[in-house]
């Protein structure tokens, strides 16, 4: 990460995580709006809090009743005896500001605002939220919500929510941006015996946001992994900084709709939050080690695996089965997900030979045949589990005529936990295998209805580890600190000069100077204001040359006949100059004032691959980088990767690896590889321009010509923000954590 950034709010080094601790570990709680009205939120919240004791007092606040559900009530928060750590607010929206003011007065540390009727109702609600934040900021009161289901700390016994039941204690934290989906997942977890370390319904994220919760859970010793249902990322820098800090210790799994334009529209109408471009989101998640799942069944399956078993340390899965078909189906899923079938070591084969029938498969999948006994299953798992060539095990059972699903599950129990390796099971079928599924689940072996899903989960969790490993490779620095400062200043001066002249578009000549300032190789380009200059410059180069329009206003030169290639002689150059000038001057859309001359450039032999490097502005993530195949079929093949600046050489390489053109760049059909170090450094420098020059709104190099001889920018385009753009609207990378 860029060292020259100063810490900003939401930075991982300046986390406010500790301040939300009283919300999840309160010593006392007041329920504002507690009531006995059947089915009301105020009643459910109070009931939930007292029926799951956390060890402290619960105060109902109700101005009309001396007690609620048999507990002494107080007319207002200020009349409440002693300290109150947390309030849960269930009263109508219009009353909340006063309650927050009172809470600040009383020294309350946290609030969960369940009440709806804020941001989601429009501008009026937005203003109400602003007022709440103004009040809260007086004491640093932290607020979850509004418009949420509440929170739970099942380990500490806290249920400050109106969910139907408290989750059982466990090690997975679950944060949901939809209360409804939260209810469904909680109910699913309860049915499947999955315990949680934390549940938070974060509502409209007015104050406490992803960054706060992730930072908090990163330090929470009961939490081993974090599962998130996300509708909008909100404060992207805060999310990214927190996630980058936590993922090396604990996996973060996110399901987020909006993969398609249609879905994004549905999300917008639901939450009032804008959903950013989905490809950018994927790139951002990858950059900070977050795992994204796309299907609800995958999300459920992740809970199942994470709650019960360790993470795989490698991608080699051993499959034990009493039937070939399911073994092959899950092998497909394994391979497609990036896993491999573990090889079975000779020692393991030898041990298995001592008790398995001769016809067993002798390879992975370990098919122990249709009549496999419970004992055969158990001993095979024991032996295969000890094979160091395996990183995880999946035991599959199909209910054949002599199969004993229940007894087999019983016998497997004692081998269901292997240090450092996950053990998964798939008891396939219905009623016949149901009891066995229960037994395994209770023993901490996750059971998947389909073995291919088990293999998929294994590979996704391996993918998490592999991505983190790739990210952890240190980047290589090719520029000294002094040179970097010089690059920044030279480029800033070019940009300032353009702005001083009242323009927001750099000419091709200026754009290339900017690239050159950052050490990016561009084709030699000189300005000619007259025909004679043009010829003189061309003669100073080697023919053939190229003449291109120089204009401070026209960016798409080809559209106005502004590019003349392959000029072989001074006469060609003269003609080109005249033609370009005439073409622009006579163009009804433009005119002579848009012609500032031409540039004369060396004609580069077009032998190599055309690449595009770009940067554009995402409304949520700020500047986003693009690397991909250039050329005329760029729109057809869409072979591209996105990334967030700043990059180091590792990040650059990881972007390259996501494209197909990278295979060609590494050398195909007898061609040699392009110089990857040069390409990586070029990408890093390109990202630095974007990260360090906030006035740049869009920029691209198209094409960058890459061959084994050279990598060179043939054309470039830079667009600045409007001259009167306020500073906070300038380009600012979403990744801005200061380096420790």
For the bound state, the minimum distance from the C-beta of residue 222 to a second copy, rounded and expressed in Å, comes to 22
Which of 16, 65, 97, 259 binds a second copy (CB under 8 A)? It is 259
566: left (phi over 0), alpha (psi -120 to 50) or beta: left
For the bound state, the minimum distance from the C-beta of residue 269 to a second copy, rounded and expressed in Å, comes to 6
By C-alpha distance, which of 442, 434, 422 is closest to 381? 422
For the bound state, the minimum distance from the C-beta of residue 120 to a second copy, rounded and expressed in Å, comes to 9
Cα distance between residue 465 and residue 614, in whole Å: 29
Burial code (b: 16+ CB inside 10 Å, e: under 16) for 459-484 equals: bbbbbbbebeeebeeebeeebeeeeb
For the bound state, the minimum distance from the C-beta of residue 513 to a second copy, rounded and expressed in Å, comes to 29
Which residue number, 367 or 526, has a Cβ lying nearer to a second copy? Answer: 367
Q: For residue 454, give Cα distances in angstroms to 55, 264, 427, 459.
A: 39, 30, 11, 9
Window 43 to 102, contacts with a second copy (CB under 8 A)? 44
Which of 20, 30, 32, 41 binds a second copy (CB under 8 A)? It is 41
Give me the sheet containing 598-602, strands edge to edge: 525-528, 598-602, 545-549, 563-567
Which burial class, exposed, middle or buried, applies to 542 when counting CB atoms under 10 A from its CB (0-12, 13-18, 19+)?
exposed
Window 7 to 36, contacts with a second copy (CB under 8 A)? none
Three-state SS at 57: coil
For the bound state, the minimum distance from the C-beta of residue 609 to a second copy, rounded and expressed in Å, comes to 8
Would you state the torsion angle of the CA atoms of residues 690, 691, 692, 694, taken in this order, to the nearest 10 degrees? 70
Is position 255 an interface residue for a second copy (rule: CB under 8 A)? yes
Which residue number, 124 or 332, has a Cβ lying nearer to a second copy? Answer: 332
Which of 13, 18, 180, 493 binds a second copy (CB under 8 A)? It is 180
- How many residues bind a second copy (CB under 8 A)? The answer is 92
Which residue number, 340 or 730, has a Cβ lying nearer to a second copy? Answer: 340
Residues sharing a CB contact under 8 Å with residue 126, sequence separation 6 or more, in sequence order? 118, 119
Stretch that binds a second copy, among 173-181, 201-209, 414-422, 586-594 (CB under 8 A): 173-181
Is position 145 an interface residue for a second copy (rule: CB under 8 A)? no
Which of 63, 502, 636, 739 binds a second copy (CB under 8 A)? It is 636
Q: What angle do CA 442, 448, 452 make, to 5 degrees?
A: 155
Cα distance between residue 546 and residue 531, in whole Å: 14
Cα distance between residue 459 and residue 305, in whole Å: 12
Which of 20, 84, 152, 181 binds a second copy (CB under 8 A)? It is 181
Which residue number, 410 or 450, has a Cβ lying nearer to a second copy? Answer: 450
In this structure, the strands spanning 316-321 and 366-367 are parallel
Which residue number, 401 or 501, has a Cβ lying nearer to a second copy? Answer: 401
Residues in the chain: 740
In 505-552, the DSSP E strands lie at: 525-528, 545-549
Which residue number, 434 or 565, has a Cβ lying nearer to a second copy? Answer: 434
For the bound state, the minimum distance from the C-beta of residue 7 to a second copy, rounded and expressed in Å, comes to 34
Q: How is residue 706 written in tokens?
A: 């890459």
For the bound state, the minimum distance from the C-beta of residue 508 to a second copy, rounded and expressed in Å, comes to 20
User: Around Cβ 495, how many Cβ atoms within 10 Å?
Assistant: 20
Give me the sheet containing 169-176, strands edge to edge: 158-161, 150-153, 196-201, 169-176, 225-229, 252-255, 291-293
Stretch that binds a second copy, among 212-220, 308-316, 428-436, 536-544 (CB under 8 A): 428-436
Stretch that binds a second copy, among 307-315, 318-326, 409-417, 538-546 (CB under 8 A): 318-326
For the bound state, the minimum distance from the C-beta of residue 589 to a second copy, rounded and expressed in Å, comes to 17
Residues sharing a CB contact under 8 Å with residue 547, sequence separation 6 or more, in sequence order? 534, 538, 563, 564, 567, 573, 576, 577, 580, 598, 599, 600, 601
Stretch that binds a second copy, among 289-297, 305-313, 531-539, 731-739 (CB under 8 A): 289-297
Residue with tokens 């005119």: 591
Residues sharing a CB contact under 8 Å with residue 380, sequence separation 6 or more, in sequence order? 320, 352, 356, 366, 368
Which of 222, 223, 238, 271 binds a second copy (CB under 8 A)? It is 271
Which of 171, 177, 224, 687 binds a second copy (CB under 8 A)? It is 177
Is position 162 an interface residue for a second copy (rule: CB under 8 A)? yes
Element (H, E) at 292: strand 291-293
Stretch that binds a second copy, among 64-72, 263-271, 479-487, 732-740 (CB under 8 A): 263-271
Which residue number, 118 or 686, has a Cβ lying nearer to a second copy? Answer: 118
The answer to whether 103 and 23 have CB atoms below 8 angstroms apart is no
Is position 556 an interface residue for a second copy (rule: CB under 8 A)? no
For the bound state, the minimum distance from the C-beta of residue 336 to a second copy, rounded and expressed in Å, comes to 6
Cα distance between residue 201 and residue 502, in whole Å: 49
Window 576 to 635, contacts with a second copy (CB under 8 A)? 632-633, 635
Window 652 to 681, contacts with a second copy (CB under 8 A)? 660-661, 663-664, 668-669
The answer to whether 224 and 306 have CB atoms below 8 angstroms apart is yes
Is position 425 an interface residue for a second copy (rule: CB under 8 A)? no
For the bound state, the minimum distance from the C-beta of residue 638 to a second copy, rounded and expressed in Å, comes to 8
Which of 3, 221, 431, 482 binds a second copy (CB under 8 A)? It is 431
By C-alpha distance, which of 441, 424, 470 is closest to 326? 424
For the bound state, the minimum distance from the C-beta of residue 685 to a second copy, rounded and expressed in Å, comes to 26
CA-based radius of gyration for the chain = 31
**DSSP 8-state class, residue 354:** T
Which of 14, 18, 274, 402 binds a second copy (CB under 8 A)? It is 402
Residue with tokens 């029938």: 357
Which of 14, 274, 336, 565 binds a second copy (CB under 8 A)? It is 336
Which of 63, 430, 502, 588 binds a second copy (CB under 8 A)? It is 430
Which of 6, 63, 123, 401 binds a second copy (CB under 8 A)? It is 401
Cα distance between residue 266 and residue 259, in whole Å: 11
Is position 342 an interface residue for a second copy (rule: CB under 8 A)? no
Which residue number, 14 or 261, has a Cβ lying nearer to a second copy? Answer: 261
Residue 52 CA from chain centroid, whole number: 35
Which of 188, 219, 343, 478 binds a second copy (CB under 8 A)? It is 188
Which of 127, 332, 469, 481 binds a second copy (CB under 8 A)? It is 332
For the bound state, the minimum distance from the C-beta of residue 705 to a second copy, rounded and expressed in Å, comes to 15
Window 453 to 482, contacts with a second copy (CB under 8 A)? 453
Which of 5, 35, 322, 459 binds a second copy (CB under 8 A)? It is 322
């Amino acid at each position: 990460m860029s060292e020259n950034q100063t810490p900003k709010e939401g930075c991982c080094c300046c986390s406010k995580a500790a301040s939300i601790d009283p919300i999840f570990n309160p010593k006392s709680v007041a329920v504002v709006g507690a009531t006995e009205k059947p089915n009301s939120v105020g009643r459910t919240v109070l009931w939930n809090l007292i029926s799951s004791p956390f060890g402290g007092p619960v105060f109902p606040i109700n101005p009309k009743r001396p007690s609620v559900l048999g507990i002494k009530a107080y007319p207002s928060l200020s009349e409440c005896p002693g300290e109150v750590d947390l309030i849960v607010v269930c009263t109508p929206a219009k009353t909340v500001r006063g309650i927050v003011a009172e809470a600040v007065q009383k020294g309350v540390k946290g609030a969960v605002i369940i009440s709806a009727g804020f941001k989601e109702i429009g501008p009026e609600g937005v203003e109400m939220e602003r007022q709440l934040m103004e009040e809260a900021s007086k004491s640093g009161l932290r607020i979850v919500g509004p418009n949420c289901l509440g929170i739970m700390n099942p380990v500490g016994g806290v249920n400050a929510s109106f969910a139907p039941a408290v989750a059982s204690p466990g090690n997975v934290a679950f944060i949901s941006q939809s209360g409804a989906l939260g209810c469904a997942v909680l109910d699913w977890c309860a049915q499947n015996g999955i315990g949680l370390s934390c549940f938070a319904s974060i509502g409209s994220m007015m104050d406490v946001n992803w960054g706060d919760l992730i930072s908090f859970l990163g330090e929470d010793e009961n939490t081993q992994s974090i599962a998130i249902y996300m509708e909008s990322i909100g404060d992207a820098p805060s999310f990214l900084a927190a996630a980058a800090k936590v993922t090396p210790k604990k996996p973060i799994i996110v399901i987020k709709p909006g993969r398609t334009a249609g879905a994004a529209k549905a999300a917008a109408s639901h939450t009032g939050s804008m959903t950013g471009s989905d490809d950018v989101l994927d790139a951002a998640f990858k950059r900070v080690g977050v795992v994204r799942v796309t299907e609800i069944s995958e999300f459920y399956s992740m809970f199942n695996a994470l709650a019960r078993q360790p993470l795989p340390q490698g991608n080699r899965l051993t499959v034990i089965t009493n039937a070939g078909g399911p073994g092959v189906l899950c092998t497909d899923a394994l391979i497609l997900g990036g896993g491999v079938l573990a090889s079975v070591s000779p020692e393991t084969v030898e041990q298995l030979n001592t008790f398995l029938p001769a016809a067993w498969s002798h390879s992975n999948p370990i098919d122990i045949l249709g009549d496999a006994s419970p004992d055969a299953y158990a001993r095979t798992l024991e032996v295969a589990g000890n094979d160091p060539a395996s990183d995880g095990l999946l035991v599959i059972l199909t209910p054949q005529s002599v199969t004993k699903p229940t007894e087999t599950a019983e016998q497997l129990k004692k081998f269901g936990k292997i240090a450092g390796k996950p053990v998964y099971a798939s008891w396939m079928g219905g009623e016949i295998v149901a009891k066995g599924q229960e037994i395994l689940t209770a023993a901490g072996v996750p059971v998947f209805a389909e073995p291919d899903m088990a293999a998929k989960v294994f590979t996704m969790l391996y993918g998490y580890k592999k991505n983190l490993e790739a990210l952890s490779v240190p980047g290589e620095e090719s520029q000294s600190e002094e040179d970097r400062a010089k690059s920044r200043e030279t480029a800033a001066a070019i940009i300032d000069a353009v702005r001083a002249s009242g323009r927001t578009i750099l000419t091709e000549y200026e754009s290339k100077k900017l690239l050159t300032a950052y050490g990016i190789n561009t084709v030699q380009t000189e300005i000619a204001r007259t025909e004679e200059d043009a010829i003189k410059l061309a003669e100073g180069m080697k023919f053939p040359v190229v003449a291109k329009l120089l204009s401070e206003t026209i960016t798409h030169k080809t559209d106005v006949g502004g590019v003349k290639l392959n000029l072989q002689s001074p006469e060609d150059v003269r003609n080109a100059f005249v033609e370009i000038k005439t073409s622009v001057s006579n163009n009804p859309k433009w005119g002579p004032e848009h012609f500032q001359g031409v540039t004369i450039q060396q004609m580069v032999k077009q032998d190599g691959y055309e690449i595009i490097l770009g940067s554009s502005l995402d409304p949520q993530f700020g500047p986003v980088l693009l690397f991909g195949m250039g050329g005329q079929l760029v729109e057809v093949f869409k072979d591209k990767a996105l990334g967030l600046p700043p990059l180091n050489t590792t990040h650059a390489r990881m972007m390259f690896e996501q494209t197909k053109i990278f295979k060609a760049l590494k050398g195909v059909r007898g061609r040699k590889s392009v110089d990857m170090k040069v390409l990586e450094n070029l990408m890093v420098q390109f990202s630095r321009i974007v990260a360090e020059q906030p006035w740049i709104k869009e920029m691209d190099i198209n094409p960058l010509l890459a061959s084994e001889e050279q990598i060179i920018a043939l054309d470039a385009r830079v667009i600045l923000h409007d001259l009167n753009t306020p500073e906070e609207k300038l380009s600012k990378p979403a990744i801005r954590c200061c380096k420790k």
